[in-house]
Amino acid sequence: MSAPLLELEAVTRSFGGIRAVDGVSMRLNEGEVVGLIGPNGAGKTTLVNVITGVHTATSGRVRFRGEDVTAQRPFQAARRGLCRTFQIVQPFPEMTVLDNVAAGAMFGGRIDAIGAAREAAREHLEFVGLAPLSDKPASALTLAARKRLELAKSLAMKPKVLMLDEVNAGLNSAEIDGALELIRKIAARGVTILLIEHLMKVVLSVTERVLVLHHGALIAEGEPHAMVRDEKVIEAYLGEKYAKRYREAAGV
Amino acid sequence: MMSRLGLALFAGWVVILATTPLFAENYIVRTAIMIAMYSALALSWNIIGGFTGYPSFATVAFFGVGCYVGGIAQRAGVPMALAWAIATVAVGAMAAALGAIILRLKGHYFAIGSIAIVEVCRLVISSWRSVTGGGDGLNVPLLRWHPDAVAQFFLLVMIGIMLAAFVMNALVDRHRLGFGLKCIRQNEDAADMVGVDTTRYKIVGFTLSALLCGTVGAAYASWVGYIDPTDSFQILMTVKVPVMALMGGAGTVLGPALGAAAFVILEEIFWANFLEWNRAILGAIIVALIFFLPGGLLNISWRRAARRLRGRESAEAPA
């Protein structure tokens, strides 16, 4: 097997007595689309925060292209191409949509001149379908559009690994289909994607491999369709009692 | 971004200020010097307070330290212009070092931290008697010219510093530094996430906002010829400067210059006409400003104001 693009070695992150991420080891290979699922509070967002330098791992190592990046700061992660979107969108509210994306192109994507950054931003806005709203302030967008803006901003940063933290949360089904289409297009560009998602429809249709997190620990890993039938996974989501009833009802 | 009209008006304004000695009495020339001086301070403040959104009250610390570094250098026989340069560099270095510490604070905490800088500087200067003369103050060598010539000279010096501050603002506004600082103002965490080295940017912004305050302080010391801790570290000045910038429009290039001019002129009018009430009136103006003009004079949408007035009239009309 070739060297992984991103590799986590026994990463733990504690907050006081709580281990939000507990000894997680995982790897992402170049060009893969991997799902990261788990019940609320499983530590998915914390894991992304550790990878992008928002939190530093209490113990363990994060390696990107073989380089130890455990202690990096968020802006360094961004410049390396470890980009993410936020579950709760984080725009620059008073800037135009165009300048929001230009900020990504300029600082994360390392385009020095404002003019050139805006040019690049236009392309990304075209790609996510927000071009007609370029000159609106970011605060004027709907939630679905803001999620697209987050995507455009991350794409402008020339991501090597794109971590999508619930980009579909709060969207209606037509909007989800649109977002799904976008994720496929981004994957087709060769960007490695780590998709944090609650919607099984999305996970099953775009990912090649799924990691399941529960109480901060990785409890299962494998092919998506197998994962949703995995007993440990069902138990994690539904609880032991319901998992048993579910098994009985399914006649297993 | 500046409109061409705004730039032309500013150029005209600079010409008017610079030519006051030709047509006006000493009092007006003095006011023109104060306007240029406060414009330079407000434009400097704009880099950290306007673009970056960090409400700094440290302006007078930089001004006061500039006064003393320049004054002490001149007393030691350093030529005036060189003394000003030394003050500028010293204040810049001080801001960079202090910035690395207090820029870890945000919002109100940062504001209080920046006021603490003023107090610490004032205390150090007034206690360090052997160097600074303590509470007795220092005499700075005066220019032995005709008083009118001295006033003209310092008018041009202050206008020069104001223009330098203006150019600095215009450059920062166009450069990626300004873009990054604006990102920090709107959402510092998100700025970090898109790859802005927020710590470094804030320190650079803070240093730029201090540099010319040091120059202004040193030039002021040479102009008035006597400095003491109470005069050099007036807490009122540190409040006035942000108010000026906010009055004109913080985060714009022309706003602080407009605000400084408006404020100094208003202040002079109130001093002259309402000797006992002028502070109260200024206070009322500040409160009104915060309530009704949060974006400053430059950001008034005149069209919307007109529409709102019309809307109110039609709402009052019987249906």
Q: Taking residues B78-100, report their average pLDDT.
A: 95
pLDDT of residue B304: 64
Give residue B272's pLDDT band: very low, low, confident or very high (50, 70, 90): confident
Give residue B312's pLDDT band: very low, low, confident or very high (50, 70, 90): low
> Per CATH, the architecture of A1-81+161-176+192-225 is what?
3-Layer(aba) Sandwich (3.40)
**CB contacts, 8 Å: A104 with chain B:** 194-195
- Disruptive mutation site among B52, B194, B200, B301 for chain A (greatest number of A CBs within 10 Å): B194
Segment B105-116, tens digit of pLDDT: 988 899 999 999
Give residue B317's pLDDT band: very low, low, confident or very high (50, 70, 90): very low
Element counts in chain B: helices (H) and strands (E): 15, 2
**CB contacts, 8 Å: B175 with chain A:** 114
Domain borders along chain B are 4-260
Indicate yes or no: CB of A90 within 8 angstroms of CB of B197: no
Find residue A212's DSSP bridge partners.
Answer: A37, A220
Element spanning A114, H or E:
helix A114-128
Segment B254-271, tens digit of pLDDT: 999 999 999 899 888 887
Amino acid identity for residue A65 in this structure: R
Q: Is the pLDDT of residue B319 over 60?
A: no
User: For the structural domain made of B4-260, what CATH number should be given?
Assistant: 1.10.3470
Q: Taking residues B203-215, report their average pLDDT.
A: 96
Task: Estimate to the nearest angstrom the gap between the alpha carbon of B41 and the chain centroid.
Answer: 2
Q: Taking residues B203-227, report their average pLDDT.
A: 95
Domain borders along chain A are 1-81+161-176+192-225, 91-158
Residue of chain B whose Cα is closest to the Cα of A52: B193
Q: Taking residues B172-189, report their average pLDDT.
A: 93
Which of B287 and B97 is assigned the larger pLDDT? B97
Q: Is the pLDDT of residue B316 over 50?
A: no
A101-128 b/e (C-beta count within 10 Å ≥ 16 → b): bbbbbbbbbebeebeebbebbbebbebb
Q: At what angle do helices B26-45 and B235-248 cross, to 10 degrees?
A: 80
CA dihedral B160, B161, B165, B171 (to 10 degrees): 50
Interface membership of B52 toward A (CB under 8 Å): no
CA atoms within 13 A on the CB side of B184: 34
User: Given the structure tokens 């297993």, which residue do they identify?
Assistant: A252
Residue of chain A whose Cα is closest to the Cα of B189: A90
- The partner residue sitting opposite B195, judged by closest CB among A54, A75, A102, is A75
pLDDT of residue B71: 95
Segment B115-172, tens digit of pLDDT: 999 999 999 999 998 888 888 888 888 888 888 899 999 999 999 999 999 999 999 9
User: Given the structure tokens 């160097």, which residue do they identify?
Assistant: B131
Interface membership of B189 toward A (CB under 8 Å): yes
Give residue B315's pLDDT band: very low, low, confident or very high (50, 70, 90): very low
Return the percentage of chain B with pLDDT > 70, whole number. 93
pLDDT of residue B107: 84
Amino acid identity for residue A5 in this structure: L
Mean pLDDT value across chain B? 88
CB B66 within 8 A of CB B233: no
Indicate yes or no: CB of B176 within 8 angstroms of CB of A112: yes
Q: Enumerate residue ranges in chain A where pLDDT < 70.
A: 1-2, 251-252
Indicate yes or no: CB of B193 within 8 angstroms of CB of A103: no
pLDDT of residue B318: 43
CA dihedral B285, B299, B99, B219 (to 10 degrees): -70
**CB contacts, 8 Å: A102 with chain B:** 179
CA dihedral A104, A105, A109, A112 (to 10 degrees): -120
Query: In Å, how far is A158's CA from the nearest CA of chain B?
Result: 11
B143: which DSSP letter? P
pLDDT of residue A238: 76
The backbone region for A23, taken as left when phi is positive above 0, alpha when psi lies in -120 to 50, beta otherwise, is left
Indicate yes or no: CB of B190 within 8 angstroms of CB of A74: no
Q: Which of B135, B159, B140 is nearest to B66 (CA)?
A: B140
Write out the DSSP string of B3-63.
-HHHHHHHHHHHHHHHHHHHHS-HHHHHHHHHHHHHHHHHHHHIIIIIIS------HHHHH
pLDDT of residue A181: 87
Interface membership of B183 toward A (CB under 8 Å): yes
CB B45 within 8 A of CB B209: yes
**CB contacts, 8 Å: B189 with chain A:** 74, 90
Residue of chain B whose Cα is closest to the Cα of A76: B195
- Give the E-state strand segments of B133-177 in sequence order: 138-139
Q: Is the pLDDT of residue B292 over 50?
A: yes
Amino acid identity for residue B106 in this structure: K
User: What is the pairing mode between strands A82-84 and A161-165?
Assistant: parallel
Segment B225-254, tens digit of pLDDT: 999 998 889 888 888 899 899 888 888 889
